[in-house]
């Protein structure tokens, strides 16, 4: 007999050689039915794994993250088998689980169609109905390579060659299908009851655009049909909210192949939203003691060599000129920090001058790869609410807290504070060549930041290898409608650039010292924030942000004079108004106006002209009926000035 310590701390004795599944069954029939994978001494294992010594054991279900990952990964393998059954010449690449689903990459003779996905789904159901189990086996490296060569699986051969010499090389057999895989997999595939293949798209092997383009099939899966139905409904809602689709439909932005990939065109409505945000940010930052700067869009390579960008970030920059030919080579700026450092160095500073807070609405340029471009979220030219604070060591914590307070104020005002998460991004000591500074400097600055974050009492996760090359940072994360997490705002503590640029202040003892630099954005990249707001509100922007706050719909030509009189009155109070003066029916105009999602719609007819009032429909509150013009203006101006966020219908 051996002793098994379970997750709740209880201990069970079982026969040596019992499987994880046997233990689950002994605990309860329901647990055995719902079990997906085991965790033995912290390592994930198949439920068929035999227990031959005293161990700690957790039996994980679909409700557990590792259970969901295993469930999804197993479904990806079943999909790969179905593809090989239907298209035998296909070569397999990789098939991991991802959040809310899975994918598998294939090299195929022709791209998959929607009809192909339907065939693959049908074949997956046939495979599952056969009730065959996954069987794990391990091979020495030479035998593993021989096997994948015989199977003509080039990508698997490359994966094996990249494994460490001491790696365990395992495969899983499922019927006549064999795939290289670390596992684990589900014990019984009949547990996979509900799945859906969602799309097929191109994907470069290993995400490198220099490699072959493969076909990637995305799917999702659940143990119950009702869970799948709920998830698919959420996906449909996400499609409707997708900023890349909705932003174009609402005439907020567009792209043009002659302009270039990653270079979106903000249309008048999108430009108006960004203008509102920029004025809001700059005014609030000025109120909090920031000084506005305006610096060049490019600089000589000399500046970037001092900062380290040229050595560590050049591939991500747009470079103008050739160092081997031209006397001067320029780079479009990927960030503003070296420029604002030059502003600081314009005069010698005393400790009495600090903290020095600079802000700038900065246009930046980053040479993103073509495969990374996505709507307004990943672009090559963007505008950012950038800022740098030069502080003494004693001021560091209070100023950092002030930056976070400013960010939280903006997030609260935008109505998205509950949607953000915090990530403490640290350096990777095993890849020190990616960073400037010593290990001691990194540990010291990271400990300072951790202390500050703990004092702020915010929930954060730590992420190794995500720091900037010159210091650790607090990343504020937001998930788009498809579940992909993006960084929208960063705050960084920089211990290195002040010394590199010979930035100093004179302390109270008359000695020159290097200040700390806090790099920060306050509302992030305006394009990315705009994308986030489109998705958050499904295009139904709060009135203060809406590019058109009131849409006026005159019923007939005889109502136009009164309508345009009203328009002038609204505009006197700063209200943004549009008039639909087309010779269309009022029903058609109303339907069109609803699609535009403007906060208020006014229908102007004979009654309104005669009574000198307006008939109001609120997007968020429904029909408000006849209203006095002054009362409506008063209420709307208050809603705009307080930046109110009403419940969306």
DSSP code of 378? Answer: B
Question: What pLDDT does 77 receive?
Answer: 95
Two tokens, residue 207:
């995400």
Instruction: State how far the Cα of 477 lies from the Cα of 468, in Å rounded to an integer.
Output: 16
pTM of the predicted protein model? 0.81
Question: What pLDDT does 649 receive?
Answer: 42
Two tokens, residue 355:
């903290």
No. of helices (H) and no. of strands (E), the chain: 20, 36
Question: Omega into 355 within 30° of 0, i.e. cis?
Answer: yes
H/E run at residue 240: helix 225-241
Residues 6+ apart with CB under 8 A from 219: 75, 76, 79, 101, 102, 103, 195, 196, 197, 198
Work out the angle at residue 416's Cα, subtended by the Cα atoms of residues 413 and 421, and round it to the nearest 5 degrees.
125
DSSP code of 583? Answer: S
Largest alpha-carbon pair distance within the chain? 95
Instruction: State how far the Cα of 82 lies from the Cα of 88, in Å rounded to an integer.
Output: 10
Instruction: State how far the Cα of 480 lies from the Cα of 72, in Å rounded to an integer.
Output: 21
Two tokens, residue 187:
């014990």
Question: What pLDDT does 372 receive?
Answer: 74
Two tokens, residue 583:
């010779």
Q: Phi, psi at residue 594, to the nearest 5°?
A: -65, -40
Contact 400, 268 (CB under 8 A): no
Mean pLDDT split into 10-residue runs, the chain, 649 residues: 90 91 91 91 92 93 93 96 96 93 94 95 94 92 95 95 92 94 89 92 88 94 94 90 94 94 96 97 97 97 92 90 89 94 96 97 91 85 96 95 95 91 91 84 89 93 86 89 85 89 96 95 95 94 97 96 96 96 92 94 96 94 94 96 75
Contact 350, 491 (CB under 8 A): no
CB atoms within 10 A of CB 216: 19
């Amino acid at each position: 007999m051996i002793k098994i310590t379970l997750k709740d701390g209880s201990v069970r004795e079982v026969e040596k050689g019992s499987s994880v599944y046997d233990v689950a069954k002994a605990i309860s029939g329901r647990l055995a039915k719902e079990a997906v994978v085991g965790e033995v001494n912290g390592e994930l294992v198949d439920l068929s794994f035999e227990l031959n010594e005293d161990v700690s054991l957790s039996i994980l279900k679909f409700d557990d993250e590792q259970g969901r990952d295993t469930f999804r990964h197993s479904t990806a393998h079943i999909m790969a088998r179905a593809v090989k059954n239907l298209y035998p010449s296909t070569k397999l690449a990789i098939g991991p689980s991802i959040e809310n689903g899975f994918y598998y990459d294939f090299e195929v003779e022709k791209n998959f169609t929607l009809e192909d996905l339907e065939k693959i789904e049908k074949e997956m159901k046939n495979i599952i109905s056969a009730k065959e189990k996954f069987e794990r086996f391990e091979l020495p490296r030479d035998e593993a390579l021989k096997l994948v060569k015989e199977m003509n699986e080039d990508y698997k051969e490359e994966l094996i060659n990249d494994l460490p010499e001491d790696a365990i090389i395992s495969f899983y057999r499922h019927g006549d299908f064999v795939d290289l895989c670390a596992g684990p997999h589900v014990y019984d595939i009949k547990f996979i009851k509900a799945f859906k293949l969602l799309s097929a798209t191109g994907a470069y092997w290993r995400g490198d655009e220099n490699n072959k383009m493969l076909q990637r099939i995305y799917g999702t899966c659940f143990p119950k049909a009702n869970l799948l139905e709920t998830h698919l409904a959420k996906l449909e809602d996400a499609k409707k909210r997708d900023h890349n689709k909705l932003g174009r439909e609402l005439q907020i932005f567009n792209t043009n192949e002659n302009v270039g990939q990653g270079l979106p065109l903000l249309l008048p409505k999108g430009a108006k939203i960004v203008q509102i945000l920029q004025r809001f940010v700059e005014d609030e930052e000025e109120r909090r003691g920031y000084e506005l700067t305006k610096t060049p869009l490019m600089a000589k390579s000399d500046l970037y060599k001092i900062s380290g960008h040229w050595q560590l970030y050049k591939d991500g920059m747009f470079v103008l000129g050739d160092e081997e030919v031209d006397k001067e080579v320029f780079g479009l700026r990927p960030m503003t920090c070296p420029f604002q450092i030059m502003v600081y160095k314009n005069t010698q500073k005393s400790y009495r001058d600090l903290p020095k807070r600079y802000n700038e609405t900065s246009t930046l340029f980053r040479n993103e790869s073509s495969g990374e471009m996505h709507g307004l979220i990943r672009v090559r030219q963007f505008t950012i609410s950038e800022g740098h604070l030069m502080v003494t060591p004693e001021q560091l914590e209070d100023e950092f807290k002030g930056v976070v307070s400013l960010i939280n104020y903006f997030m609260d005002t935008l109505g998205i504070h509950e949607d953000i998460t915090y990530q403490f991004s640290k350096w990777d000591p095993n890849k020190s060549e990616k960073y400037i500074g010593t290990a001691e400097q990194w540990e010291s600055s990271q400990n300072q930041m951790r202390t500050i974050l703990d004092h702020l009492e915010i929930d954060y996760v730590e992420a190794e290898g995500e720091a900037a090359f010159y210091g650790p940072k607090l990343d504020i994360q937001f998930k788009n409608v498809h579940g992909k997490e993006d960084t929208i705002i960063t705050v960084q503590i920089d211990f290195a650039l002040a010394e590199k640029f010979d930035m100093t202040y004179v302390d109270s003892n008359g000695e020159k010292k290097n200040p700390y630099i806090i790099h920060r954005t306050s509302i992030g990249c305006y394009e990315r924030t705009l994308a986030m707001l489109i998705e958050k509100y499904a295009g139904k922007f709060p009135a203060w942000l809406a590019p058109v706050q009131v849409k006026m719909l005159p019923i007939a030509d005889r109502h136009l004079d009164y309508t345009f009189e009203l328009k002038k009155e609204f505009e006197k109070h700063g209200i943004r108004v549009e008039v639909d003066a087309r010779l269309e029916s009022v029903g058609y105009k109303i339907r069109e106006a609803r699609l535009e999602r403007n906060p208020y719609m006014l229908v102007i007819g004979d009654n309104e002209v005669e009574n000198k009032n307006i008939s109001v429909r609120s997007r968020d509150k429904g029909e408000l009926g006849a209203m006095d013009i002054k009362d409506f203006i008063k209420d709307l101006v208050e809603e705009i000035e307080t930046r109110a966020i009403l419940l969306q219908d």
